Chains A and B, each alone.
Chain A
Amino acid sequence: MIDILIVDDNPIVRAALRGYLASADDMAVVGEAGDGRTALSSAQRLRPAVTLLDHRMPIADGLSVVTQLTGHTAVLALTSDSGEELISGMLRGGARGYLVHGEFEPVELLRAVRAVAAGQAWLSPRGAAVTISALRDQALRDRETAGHADRIRRMQDEFGLTPREREVVELLDAGHSNAAIARRLLLTEKTVKNHLNRVFAKLGVSNRTEATMRWSGR
């Protein structure tokens, strides 16, 4: 039996979750909490296998208690917020999963609870995309801190480009379209355009051709 604690400030959401989880005969809802502080004391007392954790709540929000919670229970974030920083913050804080309200089928909630209870993880498509991209950004930063990118770092001093902006301009320089750059870096085309606009400003150029010439002729 998987014991579950439901944490959400909206009693309607809690009731709906409780009702749906009751349909699974391997799960039991052992408690509810409407804010982060109550969630902590409940988790400490009840030691549920899995805690469904909302983010926006009074007194203490989800992100502020996720790390402490993971000392007592496996956390599955379940919230209507889907910002990149919140997703990666929850996962870095120890959450084992991330589901966004309105973006999953009911049966996915049950699979997610089972995966998290079994020590695995469950990421909704948005959570998966954010995680992959955060991992790559991090690896890139780590490579640089480790000193594996001297040439690139020299360029950073010259133009002040961020690691991501350098990736974008390197791909631009290699002749890739915005769409291809977006696919390669797991970004949207809009984000690539935003990066390129900042790159243009930093290189002091106004279009792709000038940017390539400036970058390759540096």
Chain B
Amino acid sequence: MIGAALSNHSQIEVVGLAGDARQALALTRRLSPTVTLLDNRATRDLHQVNELADRSSLIMMTRRTEHRALVALLLRTPVRGLLVHGHFEPSDLASAVTAVASGLGWLSPVAAAVAASALRDAKDDRASCGPADDATAPDSGDGHASGDSPSRMPRAARNP
């Protein structure tokens, strides 16, 4: 579905589809895509995420909307974009891919709100000499979203 939505875009070529993170890594090593779209349930292994991000620009797709989970994703994984399911339009997929491919970023509105408020909060913390944010605290677990379907669909796309 996502691969199909992107393949209609003239500037984007979908070069590979992977069903799990290991497969995604193998494809990324072979195909060197410009951008990789990764479902955040595909792996909890940060090494895998880091290697994917080293080999291409990474956009994470997530169903999570809580402040803490989104901040953790932004701070603990080297993503350049976050697409939150249910909070983006189909055309945002291509916008996110082209933005990230050109070295910029992309945040769905709910993620943008979280990121902006994290910036503000951190300033307040510093002003009051309080302890650091919850961003560096151990995370409740990015992969534990309940009720999510078990399907894992990381995908790689290349912008020629």
Q: What residues of chain A have their CB less than 8 Å away from a CB belonging to chain B?
A: 88, 91-92, 94-97, 111, 115, 119-123, 125-132, 134-136, 138-139, 142-143, 145-146, 148, 176, 180, 183-186, 188
24 contacts between A and B (CB under 8 A): A91-B120, A115-B113, A120-B113, A121-B107, A121-B115, A122-B109, A128-B104, A129-B105, A131-B107, A132-B74, A135-B122, A138-B119, A139-B135, A139-B136, A142-B132, A142-B135, A142-B136, A146-B132, A183-B53, A183-B56, A183-B78, A184-B53, A184-B54, A186-B80
Main secondary structure of the interface of A (DSSP, over half): helix
Within the complex, which residue of B100, B115, B126 is in contact with A131, where a contact is CB–CB below 8 Å? B115
**B54-A176 in contact (CB<8A):** yes
**B104-A135 in contact (CB<8A):** no
Main secondary structure of the interface of B (DSSP, over half): helix
Q: Bound state CA distance, A171 and B9, in angstroms?
A: 35
Q: Is B131's CB within 8 Å of the partner chain A? A: yes
Complex interface residues of chain B between 88 and 103 (CB less than 8 A to chain A)? 95, 99-100, 102-103
**Chain B residues with CB under 8 A of A185:** 78
| B73 CB, nearest partner CB in chain A, Å | 10
**A135-B119 in contact (CB<8A):** yes
**A128-B105 in contact (CB<8A):** yes
**B112-A132 in contact (CB<8A):** no
| B57 CB, nearest partner CB in chain A, Å | 6
Within the complex, which residue of B54, B75, B113 is in contact with A183, where a contact is CB–CB below 8 Å? B54
